[in-house]
Every structure is written in C-alpha cells, then in structure tokens.
Chain A
Amino acid sequence: MLRNTQSHVMNPKKTFALAVGLALFLLPLFLDFEGLSLMGHITLGIFLLAAVFWILEPIPIYATSLLVIFLQIVFLSVQGPLYQLSEVPSATPLPVEGEVWEIPAAALQEEDAVLVLENGKQAGVVPVTVTGSNAETVTVRSDELSTESRLVIDGDHWLLDFEVPSYTVYLNALANPIIILFLGGFVLAGAAVKYQLDRNLTRVILRPFGTKPARVTMGLMLVTATLSAFMSNTATTAMMMTVIIPIVAQLDPDDRYRIGVALAIPFAANVGGIATPIGTPPNAIAIGALQAHGIQIAFGTWMMLAVPLVVVILFFVWWLLLRVYPAKGERIVLDLSGRFNVSGKAITLYFVFGLTVLLWVSEAWHGLSSSVVAFFPIVALTAFRVVEIDEIRNLPWEVLWLMAGGIALGVAMQDTGLAEWLIGLIRWDLMGAFVVICVFGFVAAGLSNFISNTVAASLLVPLAISLGVSGMLADAASLEINAIIIAVGASLGMALPISTPPNAIAMSTGMLRTPDMARMGVIIALVGLPVAFVLAKFLWPLLVGN
C-alpha cells in the first residue's frame, strides 16, 4: 500500500528531477568561471546533469549514462553539430603594396603574430612585422599572407581554446578494455548460472561447515563472497537467498538468527565484490580511469590489494552478526542435495572457467592483460554453444552501458580541464595525502548508500585522479590509491535497502527490518573503512606506484 502510493506520486518528483537536471546543465553556460574553458563549462553542465539524473533517477541510470555519451558527442566532438555548425569569426587582409597588408587591429594576436584559419576551426600562427597602426587597423608585413587568407579576429574563441576530439574518444568507452573484462565475466557467470555451477560449488563448499549456526553463517558468507567476486553480486545474492529461504522457514519466528543470516548474505556479496576487478562495477570505473592515464593494474595485483581487506571485513561482519543476532537453536540443516552437471558443454564450461581465472590471477607471469584474457571465455563459450543466444540476450548489458557512461564522463572531465579546475577549488594541500584518502573513502561510502555504487564511483573517481595528476599531493602512489579507495568505499556503502541490489533482495523477503540493516551497515562501514585506510597507508603503496 505504502509502496503503491509512493509510486503514484512519483511523477511530479520525476518532472522536478528532469527540470533541475536541465537547469543545472544550462547554468554553467550562463556563468563564466575563471580558468575554465567553454568546453569545460559544457562538461560541467553534463556532469551536473548526470549527477542529478543518476541520483534522482528521473530516467533509468543506464539511460543517463548513454545520455552522457550522446551529449559529449553532440557538444564535445568534431562530428557533433556544435562543432560542425560553428566557425571562428575571421577577416581577410587588404593588400596595401607588395608584402604589406592592412588587417583589423583585433586580428593581431600578439605583437608579431596573427592566426590564420586553416579550415574554419583551427588556426596556425603566422609571424608578421607591424609597420604601422591606427585605431582600428594595423599594417603588417608578411610573405605568408594572401588575399585568400582568413585571419582570426577573436583569439579567445572557444574553438581555439581546446582541441576538439573525434567522437571515437567517447564511443571507445563502450568497448573500453575494462568493459570487455566485465563482458567476459558476465559470459562466464551466465554460463555458470545456466549449468548451475554456482549452486553446485555452493553445495561443495558449504558441506564441510557442518550444522553449527556460527559455522553455517561462516560458510554461507564465504561462499557468497567468493561467488560474488566473480559473478554479479545481485545474481549471487538471489541464488544464496534460494538456499537460505528454506532454512529460515524452519526457524522459530522469534529466532534472531534468521535476521543475522538474512543480513550475512547481502553484506558478504557486497564485500566480496571488492575482491576482484570484475567483482563489481566501481572497481571497473577505477581501473578504467587509471588506464586512461596509462596506469595498468593487473588482475592479480588488484586481488593482492583487496583480498586481505575483504577477509578482515568478512570476519568482522561474521563476528558482529553472530553477536547481535545469536542463534537459539544448536543445529541448522541445509539442503545440500544435487549433482554436478556432467554434460559435454558443462565440462567445457568448467575447463574454460578454471583456465580463465587462472590466467587472470597469473598476469604477472605471462603478461597478458585481463581484458585480453576475458576474450577467451567469450569466444570459447559462444563457439562451443555453451552460452547460446538466449543467455547472450540476457546478459546485463545495461550495466556495461552504465560503466561506459562513467568512464566517458571521466575522460571528458580530464580532457576539458574540468576535473583539474574542480580540484582547484579546494585547498587539498592543507590536508595531506592520508586525509584526502579518508575523505574520499567516507564520501564514496556515504554517497553510495543513497545512489548506485557505480554512479558514486563515476562521479568521484575522475576528481580523485585529477587530484593525483595535479601533483598537489606529495605521495606518488596517491593517484592509484585514491581511485581504489573510492571503489572500496562505494562497495562499503550498504546501510540502506536501496544502497545495493543485494540489500534490496534481502529486504524484499521480509525477513528483516530496515533498522537492522541500517545499524549493521553503518557499523561495518565505520570499521571497514579505517581498515582500508590502514592498508592504503601501509600495504598498498608497496604494490602500486613507483
């Protein structure tokens, strides 16, 4: 009922969000910020629009991502109409005699140079010698001018300010290596779901954990975290829910253990996502942005950074949940019946899955980047029809688009100098590198409680990277560490049902109430983030940077 009424007053809210987004998009065009190019202004408009749309969701968040790419192509690319339809105002020199020309005074850019347009949009510098001048015109001597030459009158024109790129720069985001890495992960996960590999692994892993409630919780969390490191957190949570729903149904309704176990699954899934680059999209945003700066983070390197953190947080969550929601009974019985699929296709899948993971974690030895490796399962599984057209259609393509939008936005913010300008607004140098890391971590976690983790990362990572590039911070590794801490922080924002899809799934079963989730989520973030900061201070610099 409550849900229904909410959804029906949704429309005015959507309209409001649309209006605010559009207003904020136009606002920078009417303002003139010192030190920011016109293209920077437009990018700021796109950034604000994306932020409002991503946060308030008047349109789906993946649609906002596509809108970002579209707006960039329209306003910021050579192929876009803005560029195509604009020209730099120009004038032609009047011949006086021989190599002496009379030109408008505004055309003289410096004391001894004019800009000559080559194609209406770009100009080359031509040196001249001024021979005389009056109020509006000057006479100059140059052997490179002709009656055909078009002299730039407005030297500060936006077209000359910024080298407008081809639209391929933005479109590339859609097939960015990290996107391909994710696609590989999706195909593997899709096949795993199809052949119930995930379910069967769950059975096998859970068996040794026995029937004591504490050990069962540990087993469930371990399985969930492991699977969600390689599969989507959402799919993992949903699968694990089908495992625990029968258990919970057996329990006494007053047994608080049911709340604990219902929280353990989504939390473990969220945390487990941190463990690998393909675990969750914020990781991809960070890695993608770093790649744009020529910094490669290998699959194995990421795991070395993240796995210790994940293990510590998981252990803490386990301890916390058992303490707050102790079990009444002594025995929890899981239904672990089932058999591995042994058809030819399933065997192929097991082989491809194992080999791919092996190649991913061993990048340091063979040097093949994880994106290249990711192509192997895509090709192999489709070629052997392990994954068929239905599963391919069923892949979460919109997640790829969502990430592409974030990556494209980062690229534009970087290229147009917006990121740098935004960073310049705050006196970071007063804070010191460690404080900066803490700030990013908390902001990322706080923000991603309310908005999509991917979106939070998309908004924050470009800023963090600019900060690193700007050289305002002394620490050399801070560029990478800033990006990673944001990805980690985004995954730790899980205090509300709307924070992540795993939370939403757990909540929707009605096994727990929002205060349970909020209390535990906040405690976990407050403990987990400092652990991450400590690792960022002492462990991570050893693994990344120079």
Chain B
Amino acid sequence: MEKIYILCVDDEPDVLRAVARDLALLEEAFPVETAASADEAKALIGRIQESRDELGLIFCDHVMPGQNGVDLLIELRGRLDLDLMRRVLFTGQAGHEDTVDAINRAGITHYVAKPWEREELLQVARDELTSYIIASGRDPLPYMRYLDQERLAEHVHRRNRTDTGQ
C-alpha cells in the first residue's frame, strides 16, 4: 500500500511549521511534507512519485516569490498523474479576479483564508482526503478513523466491498 502525502507550500517558515503541526493528527496515515517554493514543491512531487507514493492533497499559499500558488496549481492541473489530487489554496489577501482564476483554471477544491483555526484546517483536510480516497477507489478502511467516517461508510455501502474480500 503506497503512502498518501499531504504537501504544504508556503514561503513563510512559520506558516509551514504551523500547518504541519495542525495536521499532526492526520499524519499517522497521511505523511506531511513541506516546501518553501513552487520549485521545491515540484521536486518533492517528483520524489514522492519516484518512491511510488501518492500526493493526495496540496495546500498552496497564494502569493510566493517566483511562481505563485495559482500558477503552480494550474501547472499541476495539466498533469494526468495528479488528476485526483485535491487542491487547497491558502491565502492572506486575494482579489476577486485571482479567486475566479484559481477556481476556473487551477481547479482548486477549497479555499482557506489566513489566519485559520486548527479545527477548520483539520476539517478541510479531512473532507478533501475523504474525497480523494473515494475518488481513488482505494480501500477506505485503513483511513476511516482519521477521516469522515459517515461518508466513507456510505461509500463502502454503495460499493459493497472492502479489500478484505468476501
């Protein structure tokens, strides 16, 4: 079973540290990686894929030096191998146009405004990863205790199978 990673991209080390800390509850099942720039993020994605793991969720800051968050997400959206990945845009200040761009072109699945609450962030991560697990067709049981149990149980009910056979 490959690991499903959560990747956080932000140029502020304090933010990265806080996000990783807030997501620690999920990390038993979903290892968290952090990157300080778009380029580092892309290199990390390459490494994750080389070890045959998956990237399930990306938290991406909007304004960063070099390639900005929306552009990074747009670039990643073109990649078939990251088709199912959930994308969350993290932002302290966003104009209306950027938002439209992020939704239309970068295909973001959620928007988190800074500053955030730990519970809110965890809930967003749980929801997004639940959607990822359902879309990926994986056996949801190993992830059930960390994610949205009702949705996953409903998914098992509709799909009528788990990997335990029978």
A binds B: yes
Enumerate chain B residues within 8 angstroms of A216, measured Cβ to Cβ: none
Q: Which residues of A contact B166 (CB under 8 A)?
A: 233-234, 280-281, 399, 402, 452-454, 500-501
Contact A246 B158 (CB under 8 A): no
Beta-carbon contact of B160 and A241 below 8 Å: no
Whether the Cβ atoms of B164 and A501 lie closer than 8 Å is yes
Interface flag for B145 (CB, 8 Å): yes
Which of B143, B153, B159, B160 is A245 in contact with, Cβ under 8 Å? B153
Partner of A3, one of B142, B150, B162, B165: B142
Instruction: Find out whether the CB atom of B165 lies under 8 angstroms from the CB atom of A193.
Output: no
B21-45 toward A: CB 8 Å interface, digit per residue (1/0)? 0000000110000000000000000
Taking CB atoms, residues of chain A closer than 8 Å to B131 are: none
B47 sits at the interface (CB 8 A): no
CA distance A239 to B149 in the complex (A): 11
Q: Is residue A189 within 8 Å, beta carbon to beta carbon, of the partner chain? A: yes
Query: What's the nearest-Cβ distance from chain B to residue A223, in Å?
Result: 14
Residues in A neighbouring B150, C-beta threshold 8 A:
241-242, 245-246
* Complex interface residues of chain A between 54 and 76 (CB less than 8 A to chain B): 60-62
What is the bound-complex CA distance between A235 and B157, given in angstroms? 4
Inter-chain CA distance A241–B155, complex, in Å, is 11
> Cβ of B155: which chain A residues have Cβ within 8 Å of it?
238
**B29: A residues at CB distance < 8 A:** 3-4
**Which among B28, B29, B143, B153 has the highest number of chain A CB atoms within 10 Å?**
B153
Q: Would you call A7 an interface residue if the criterion is a C-beta within 8 Å of the partner chain's C-beta atoms?
A: yes
Chain A residues whose C-beta falls within 8 Å of the C-beta of B162 in the assembled complex: 234, 501, 504-505
Interfacial residues of chain A within 384-400, with CB under 8 A of chain B in the complex: 394-396, 398-399
Interface size class of A (residues with CB under 8 A): 35 or more
A24-78 at interface with B (beta carbon < 8 Å): 60-62
Check B74 for interface membership: any CB of A closer than 8 A: no
Question: A166-200: contact bitstring with B at CB < 8 Å (1 yes, 0 no)?
Answer: 00000000000000000000000110010000000
In the complex, the answer to whether B142 meets A394 with C-beta atoms within 8 Å is no
- Residue numbers in A under 8 Å from B28 (CB-CB): 1
- Asked if B144 is an interface residue, CB under 8 A from chain A, the answer is yes
Q: A189 to chain B: which residues have CB within 8 Å?
A: 160
Question: B165 near A242 (CB under 8 angstroms)?
Answer: no
CB interface residues, A 207-239, toward B, < 8 Å: 232-235, 238-239
Closest approach, in angstroms, between the C-beta of A336 and any C-beta of chain B? 16
Tell whether, in the assembled complex, residue B160 and residue A508 are in contact, meaning their CB atoms are under 8 Å apart: no
Name the B residues within 8 Å of A501 (CB-CB). 161-162, 164-166
Instruction: Flag whether A106 is at the interface (Cβ < 8 A).
Output: no
Question: What's the Cα separation between A454 and B166 when bound, in Å?
Answer: 7
Chain A residue nearest to B151 (CB atoms) is A242
Within 8 A of B (CB), among A471-530: 498, 500-501, 504-505, 507-510
B-contacting residues, A367-406, CB 8 Å: 394-396, 398-399, 402
A242 touches B154 (CB 8 A): yes
**Using a CB-CB cutoff of 8 Å, which residues 125-166 of chain B contact chain A?**
140-145, 149-150, 153-162, 164-166
Q: Contact between B165 and A394 (Cβ–Cβ < 8 Å)?
A: no
Nearest chain B residue, comparing its CB with the CB of A241: B153
Is the Cβ of A235 less than 8 Å from the Cβ of B156?
yes
Whether B1 pairs with A508 at a CB distance below 8 angstroms is: no
B114 located at the interface, meaning its Cβ lies under 8 Å from any Cβ of chain A in the complex: no
> Of the candidates B1, B3, B143, B160, which one forms a contact with A234 in the assembled complex, judged by CB atoms under 8 Å apart?
B160
The residues of B that contact A510 with a CB separation of less than 8 Å are: 144-145
Interchain nearest-CB distance for A503 vs B (Å): 9
In the bound assembly, the distance between CA atoms of A398 and B162 in angstroms comes to 11
A241 touches B149 (CB 8 A): yes
Looking at the assembled complex, report how far the CB atom of B2 sits from the nearest CB atom of chain A, in whole angstroms. Answer: 8
Taking CB atoms, residues of chain B closer than 8 Å to A505 are: 141, 144, 153, 156, 162
Across the interface, name the chain B residue whose C-beta is closest to A62.
B165
Q: How far is the CB of B118 from chain A (nearest CB, A)?
A: 19
List B contacts of A193 (CB < 8 A).
157-158, 160
B165 lies within 8 A of A232 (CB): no
Assembled-state Cα–Cα distance A7/B28 (Å): 14
CB distance from B151 to the nearest CB of A (A): 8
Give bound CA distance, A399 to B162, whole Å. Answer: 11
For B140, the chain A residues whose CB sits under 8 A away are 508
Closest A-chain residue to B142, C-beta based? A3
Interface string of B75-117 (1 = CB under 8 A from A): 0000000000000000000000000000000000000000000
The docked-state distance in angstroms from the alpha carbon of A246 to that of B143 is 18
CB-CB under 8 A from A234, the residues of chain B are 156, 160-162, 166
Most buried by A among B142, B154, B165: B165
**Cα-based distance from A501 to B164 in the complex (angstroms):** 6
Instruction: Tell me the bound Cα distance from A232 to B165 in angstroms.
Output: 12
> How far apart are A273's CB and chain B's nearest CB, in angstroms?
9
In the complex, what distance in Å separates the CA atom of A507 from the CA atom of B3? 20
Distance between Cα atoms of A235 and B159 in the complex (Å)? 8
Can you give 5 contacting A-B residue pairs, CB < 8 Å? A4-B29, A60-B165, A501-B165, A505-B141, A508-B145
16 additional A-B residue pairs with CB within 8 Å, beyond A7-B1, A245-B149, A501-B166: A3-B142, A60-B165, A190-B160, A193-B160, A234-B156, A234-B160, A235-B156, A238-B153, A238-B157, A241-B149, A245-B150, A281-B166, A398-B161, A501-B162, A501-B164, A510-B145
